[in-house]
Amino acid sequence: MDKIIRKRLSSAGFFCLVGLIVLLSLSPFFWFVDTSFKTEVEVTSVPPVVLPSFSLEFYRSAITRYGLLHFLRNSFIVASATTLLTISLAALAGYALSRLKFPFRVGLLKSLLVVSMFPQISIAGPVWRILYWAGLLNSYPGLIVPYVTLTLPLGVWVLTSFFSELPEELEAQARIDGCGYLQTLYRIILPLSLPGLFTAAILVFIYAWNEFFFALLIMTQRRYQTLPVGIALLQGQYTLPWGEIAAASTVATVPLVVVVFLFQKRIISGLSAGAIKG
């Protein structure tokens, strides 16, 4: 009897803990989503209004007065182009790193690891000057180039570890059949690695979508700014337009939340790929 009660209690405690974790993870952002559907009066009222009147007033004004769709478009262009480029280059490099023997293999993997840890400020000045010199400040390529550089380590890591797990016999056969390395990669490895490519693409896209530091330096003109810059610099004339900030934030975040709920397993495996196998 005693044992059963203790077991019940401990499982009740466990589910309270689960509930608490979910609540703490979701409620702050939920509060912002909630705010985005309020009216001006509801946002500033004390005690706070929990059930909003589902007004779209803030979305409308974020679009018409603050250029939300503009930011959205810029973010989408930059993040998509970054993802496409990074994944292509990372697949090439990842194949060589996982399958072929060459002198500076470990050196390259280690230096990629180092790059992924650089504080952005340590390269910011020179990157800015290079882009200035090339006339690429306030242009999409100007932001895509640093993003590709900064996401390559992540892409190469995930793909290298994914490719390493594919059985090598598959390619041995392909090579006997006369396929070159590129053909083997293209015909055998890539089709089998679609889940891995997709995982890496999600992670790279989220990085590029969320990045703020370089976007702030490089996109100083409003028409090129991405969502994070737009949201960070959103200013009213006298007060902070919290409703519009919440609306823009919701627009910037909801796609990511959907991706997380759909591909939770992939993201988790991708994030820990290569990190812990030692």
Subset of 111-130 contacting another protein (CB under 8 A):
111-115, 117-130
Helix 264-271 and helix 194-210, axial crossing angle in degrees, nearest 10: 80
Q: Please report, for residues 154, 202, 251, the alpha-carbon distance to residue 264 in angstroms, rounded to integers and kept in the order given.
A: 18, 11, 20
Helices (H), ranges, the chain = 2-36, 40-43, 57-64, 68-99, 105-117, 121-133, 140-164, 169-176, 181-184, 190-192, 194-210, 213-218, 227-233, 242-262, 264-271
* 137 scored as a contact of another protein (CB under 8 A): no
Tell me 189's DSSP state.
I
Rounded CA separation 182/186 (Å)? 6
Per-residue binding letters, 49-68, with another protein (x by CB under 8 A): --------------------
Among 152, 158, 189, 197, contact with another protein (rule: CB under 8 A): 152
- Using rule CB under 8 A, residue 172 touches another protein: no
**What minimum distance in Å lies between the beta carbon of 35 and another protein?**
7
Residues comprising the chain, all counted: 278
Query: Which range of residues in 64-72, 96-104, 135-143, 187-195 is near another protein by CB under 8 A?
Result: 96-104
206 lies in the binding site for another protein (CB under 8 A): yes
The distance of closest approach from Cβ of residue 69 to another protein in the complex, given in angstroms and rounded to an integer, is 17
CB within 8 Å of 259: residues ≥ 6 apart: 202, 206, 267
* Residue of 146, 154, 247, 266 that binds another protein (CB under 8 A): 146
Q: Is 167 a binder of another protein (CB under 8 A)?
A: no
Give SS3 for 241. coil
Among 96, 143, 204, 247, binds another protein (CB under 8 A): 96
Please enumerate in sequence order all residues whose Cβ is within 8 A of that of 253, keeping only pairs 6 or more positions apart, or say none.
29
* Size of the residue set binding another protein (CB under 8 A): 103
Q: From the CB of 80, what's the least distance to another protein, in Å?
A: 16
The distance of Cα 163 from the centroid of its chain, to the nearest Å, equals 22
Interacting span for another protein (CB under 8 A) from 1-9, 94-102, 135-143, 190-198:
94-102
Among the listed ranges 65-73, 133-141, 187-195, 248-256, the one in contact with another protein (CB under 8 A) is 248-256
Q: Which region, judged by CB under 8 A, interacts with another protein, from 58-66, 89-97, 135-143, 186-194?
A: 89-97
The letter for the amino acid at 160 is: T
Q: How near is the Cβ of 131 to another protein at its closest, in Å?
A: 9
